[in-house]
């Protein structure tokens, strides 16, 4: 029974410590991470166009979740 109480207390302690680390980061505090180059996909339009061209060149139905022939239409 004591082990269960200690485990629950430790769990609440760890949750409290983790929740104190959660904070809202303001735009002026972001520094280099706020730059567009640091995004997971810094050029979404270019990536979309490349994916469209890749799907058009494959000319296989169902390739890259796109249907249709090699003409580039959907």
| Whether the model pTM is above 0.75 | no
pLDDT at 70: 55
pLDDT at 56: 72
pLDDT in tens, the chain (74 residues): 688 889 999 999 998 888 877 778 888 888 877 787 778 888 889 998 888 888 777 665 555 555 555 565 55
The domain locations on the chain are 1-58
- Torsion sign, CA atoms 54, 56, 60, 66: positive
**SS3 per-residue string spanning the chain:** CHHHHHHHHHHHHHHHHHHHCCCCCCHHHCHHHHCHHHCCCCCHHHHHHHHHHHHHHHCCCCHHHCCCCCCCCC
């Amino acid at each position: 029974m004591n082990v269960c109480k200690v485990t629950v207390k430790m769990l609440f302690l760890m949750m409290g410590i983790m929740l104190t680390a959660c904070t809202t980061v303001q735009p002026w505090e972001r520094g280099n991470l706020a730059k567009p180059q640091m995004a997971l996909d810094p050029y979404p339009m270019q990536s979309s166009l490349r994916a469209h061209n890749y799907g058009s060149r494959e000319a296989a139905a169902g390739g890259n979740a796109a249907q249709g022939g090699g003409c580039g239409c959907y």
